[in-house]
Structure 1
Amino acid sequence: MKYLKQIQTKTLCLLSLVSIVLFGCERDLPADAPLATFPNIADVFTDVPVNLTDEFFISFDPSGGANVNGFGTDENEAYQGTTSIRIDVPAANNPDGGFIGGIFRDRGEGRNLTQYDALTFWAKGSTTGTIGEVGFGADFLDDKFPVSRSNIQLTTDWKKYVVPIPDASKLTQEKGMFLFAAGGLDVLGDGPNGNEIGWTFWLDEIRFENLGTNLAVNTEILNGEDQVVEAFTGSNITISGLSQTVNLGTGENVNINIAPAYFDFINSNSSVATVSESGLVSVVGSSGTTTITAILNNIQANGSLEVTSNGQFPSAPIPTRDASNVISLFSDAYTNVPVRHYNGFFEPYQTTLGGAGSDPNNVDIQGMLPDGSLDNIINYTQLNFVSIGTYETVQLVDASTATHLHIDINVRETIDAADFIRLELESGTFTGTTANGSFVLSSAALSNVNSDGWASIDVPLASFSGAVDFSSLGQLFFISDGTISNIWVDNVYYYNE
């Protein structure tokens, strides 16, 4: 066993690119001047790395949990020749990182892969383990054309594996020659829980080939779904779920994950929204509808995105109260206290949807304020009751010095005279409630709105019925009993007037 002595590490997704401006004499090229071409070297690794960087394994970032210690070459194992690549996959609890993975990058300016239709390699495992991801096209520079297969099942004998190229005409200058990522084995079969054990696998004869037998049988964007969304001017939507199923000619169908740049996106109305080659849809119009579809190598992909613009985002009033007087549960204007949930999904009696999770930056609507900053909003639908819970956080909310509860509510439907939302405060933990109290917002209060439809509500805490212990608040409930079913909620906080 002979390990490589140096391993270069780099983050998978670079957050920024360095712009280089070249100054020099200008020269007009003839109209028929040949375009620059790049070598069409097929081999990536045989007994040695072929035209790869000296430190040819470039690891995923260790700060993200990648282990850089298990990569090497093995002169005692090979499918063909004398040497293979050996990967010692760490256990999940390894202090140096719980998974291993990275890329091989071309030594030069890239390769012309247009004459090939697949990346192939031979592999075997010390046991019947699974490689989480294998592919090519990631170079840790532009990462424009990555393709990968997920969950490659190995055997203990050498076997050839294929990663099809969805459209080789795009790969005129590709630097990302190989990618892999693998984690420990779940020997107990109880799912990922940190008990996965280490194992070993070997790779050999990695190269690009023209098999001539690949046949695309299904191509998808958005996982093949026809999605319909409404969005506001300035908002962005990412087209995800990009894949293709390919028959290899051996009878085996394999599924590959594909980068957006392989697709040609078709936009029916660019005055409503634009779509970039990276699959980012940007809403630019104040009204109208557009439908976005995609073609891959002359194949129409299943799935579409219909986007309707609702115009400028009707943001809630921006709070101006001094942060030192505020205890915030949900607002972009303040630092929020720890929150267990924005929807507890208390089955079977609760029907309310929306507000999943506890991260205020991962909720239902993300609009843009005039200054360009994001405004997150909870959208509760099918509302009968729902709570914002803090009872399993670091500590219960102590609002004993506060005088008011503030909430901005935008009712997204017609309000009838009998409609209401009852606010209820609950003290203590979920299983140890000490007291609760309520305050009813009538249809009149909810109808007193600004031009964007927001009702800014300030309720004196003294107005809540019951003997609430404001020093240990565990939940704030919104209860409509189905009289109102669709609301936006923003800027939920206690404050001292």
Structure 2
Amino acid sequence: VGGAAVTFAADGADVTVTPAVAYFTFASSDTAVATVDPAGLITAVAEGSATITAKLGNVDAGGAVTVTVTAGTPERVVFGDDFAAGVSFQDFGGATNAVTVDTTEFHEGAASLRIEVPAAGYTGGALKLDAPANLSGYDAVSFWAKASADNPVNVLGFGNNAATNFYQAEWNGVGLTGTWTQYIIPIPDAARLTAEDGLFHFAEGPEHGAYTFWLDDIRYVSLGAPTIENARPAIATETASREVGGTFQVNGTSVTYAVNGMDQTISAARGYFTYASSDPTVATVDTSGNGIALAVGTTVITAQLAGVDAAGALTVEVTLPSVPSTAAPTPTVPSGDVISLYSNAYTNVTVDTWSAVWDSADVVDAQIAGDDAKLYTNLAFAGIEFTSAPVDASAMTHFHMDIWTPNSTVFRVKLVDFGTDGAFGGGDDTEHELTFDGASTPALVTGTWMSLEIPFTDFVNLANRGHLAQLIIVGSTSTVYVDNVYFHR
């Protein structure tokens, strides 16, 4: 209750003073709906309406406070002592999962969700609802967790159903301890979640060895201020150089909240934000944060989250297209001395993908003067995987690749051997990355085909090459044509 004042008539003139609230006594017309304490603090009790009045001594105070209490959104339980009705666990691709309901360890009730982190690979999956639900009435996901060892879990979040993640939000590096602790993940913009089935997800790798962690009392809640306040959205401050017709995306979408007075940063999917281009004739951006370059010039992409301006901006510089006019040089190494990943000159071995799901690049098949090539655009890093049939290059002496770029300033090549167990992260992996730029030997050049003829001895940390499974190329967010990728002797 506020606005306390008393008016007296003194010498024929009204005089108003503002006494402390403690001088007054308060009453509620219906304490089943709302109560009021001696300090004037009103507490909502149940749905309905009540009137708060006051007295100073035996004199009724003018004015009153009408309190209307509406029914809040009931909490949605995802996991209590078991999966809630309609909720099931879905494995993430490639995960090694041992996820069980544990009746010997729990925060409250009778059970928790037990997750075993493997010594190699990773554990990960989603708690998925059988049909999308409206979650717009909540502002956070609350859960309790503990671990067998004090470790930061890579990812805990929601908005991922193991297939789609348009409204994904994640808390990275969540520090768990051996004591049951409550954790809160704010929802970046709950108004977006009108049809969501990815209720909760996790992913954790073997960086800290094998261990166990538990989750309990996972639920959607409405907390409000002061528990959750001071949202500060942000996008990455970057410059993207694109040719006309090229595509780009906004990166680094996140939001920092004060949660119980402590700053907490959430990685929020681009779909939560709205975007604007300072010059839409140069480039536009859609609701997913994906853009297209339309004409030569420069534009600045900015963003908002739930009406709040995001820090950061993406500057897009658009130039005319530049493509090679001639094909890559035709290889001359005899086919019997070659293991080819990609070349019209040889029979190629099986390559699972030229752009892995975890990379940041776009790739399409192209033809240059009648010769096939791979065209990478927006190349930050691309994973070329042949894990289903690793290559034994132990009898080979060199790695070869032809590249053509109009705009890259740095180009890196990494080879990864999975070792005899054939598994990533199994403990016997080896790898080495080489960097090519204006000062390297050979120096990186633009506007002409460049042949990278690299002795295996240059890959000094690649201790083995009998189970090569990955080739990773890294560019400076650039356009790169690739041809004639092979090992030879």
TM range (shorter): 0.5 to 0.7
Q: TM-score, normalised by structure 2?
A: 0.57
1:378-389 pair list within 5 angstroms: none
Worse-superposed segment, 359-368 or 301-310: 359-368
Kindly tell me: are residues 78 and 274 of structure 1, through their superposed partners in 2, closer, same or farther at Cα, counting changes over 3 Å? same
Aligned equivalents of 2:289 and 2:239: distance in 1? 16
SS of aligned partner of 1:175: strand
Which one has a bigger Cα radius of gyration? Answer: 2
Q: For residue 83 of structure 1, what is the aligned residue in structure 2? A: 111
Aligned equivalents of 1:200 and 1:125: distance in 2? 6
Q: For residue 162 of structure 1, what is the aligned residue in structure 2? A: 184
Aligned equivalents of 2:362 and 2:81: distance in 1? 53
> Which of 139, 144, 151 is residue 173 of structure 2 equivalent to?
151
Aligned equivalents of 1:455 and 1:185: distance in 2? 42
Task: Say if 2:201 is the partner of 1:201.
Answer: no
> Which of 51, 75, 78 is residue 85 of structure 2 equivalent to?
51
What amino acid is aligned across from residue 77 of structure 2 in structure 1? D
1:435-446 pair list within 5 angstroms: none
Aligned equivalents of 1:172 and 1:149: distance in 2? 21
Kept in 2, the 8 Å contact 1:264–1:277? The answer is yes
Task: Say if 2:326 is the partner of 1:317.
Answer: yes
Q: For residue 99 of structure 1, what is the aligned residue in structure 2? A: 122
Q: For residue 151 of structure 2, what is the aligned residue in structure 1? A: 129
Aligned equivalents of 2:159 and 2:272: distance in 1? 11
Q: TM-score, normalised by structure 1?
A: 0.56
Aligned equivalents of 2:232 and 2:269: distance in 1? 16
Kept in 1, the 8 Å contact 2:322–2:406? The answer is no
Aligned-pair CA distance for 1:319: 4.1
SS of aligned partner of 2:191: helix
Aligned equivalents of 1:209 and 1:72: distance in 2? 25
Aligned equivalents of 1:378 and 1:48: distance in 2? 44
What amino acid is aligned across from residue 170 of structure 2 in structure 1? S
Kept in 1, the 8 Å contact 2:248–2:378? The answer is no
* Residue identity (%): 27
Aligned-pair CA distance for 1:216: 3.4
Kindly tell me: are residues 158 and 220 of structure 1, through their superposed partners in 2, closer, same or farther at Cα, counting changes over 3 Å? same
Aligned equivalents of 2:158 and 2:360: distance in 1? 34
> Which of 283, 290, 296 is residue 280 of structure 1 equivalent to?
290
1:15-94 pair list within 5 angstroms: 42-53=76-87, 56-61=88-93, 64=94, 66-68=95-97, 70-92=98-120
> Which of 301, 304, 313 is residue 295 of structure 1 equivalent to?
304
Aligned equivalents of 2:168 and 2:399: distance in 1? 50
Could you tell me which runs of 5 or more consecutive residues in structure 2 were left unpaired when the two chains were aligned: 1-72, 349-353, 380-392, 409-444, 459-478
Aligned-pair CA distance for 1:51: 2.4
Q: For residue 395 of structure 1, what is the aligned residue in structure 2? A: 396
Kept in 2, the 8 Å contact 1:235–1:367? The answer is no
What amino acid is aligned across from residue 219 of structure 1 in structure 2? P
Aligned-pair CA distance for 1:286: 3.5
SS of aligned partner of 2:132: coil
Aligned-pair CA distance for 1:375: 3.2
Kept in 2, the 8 Å contact 1:132–1:150? The answer is yes
What amino acid is aligned across from residue 50 of structure 1 in structure 2? A
Kept in 1, the 8 Å contact 2:247–2:378? The answer is no
What amino acid is aligned across from residue 235 of structure 1 in structure 2? G
Q: How many residues align?
A: 332
Q: For residue 184 of structure 1, what is the aligned residue in structure 2? A: 206
Deviations, residues 91-117 of structure 1 (Å, cap 9, x unaligned): 23xxxxx3211001112x222111111
SS of aligned partner of 2:196: coil
Q: Which has the larger share of strand? A: 2
Deviations, residues 289-341 of structure 1 (Å, cap 9, x unaligned): 22111000111111111112112233342348588889999998657999xxx
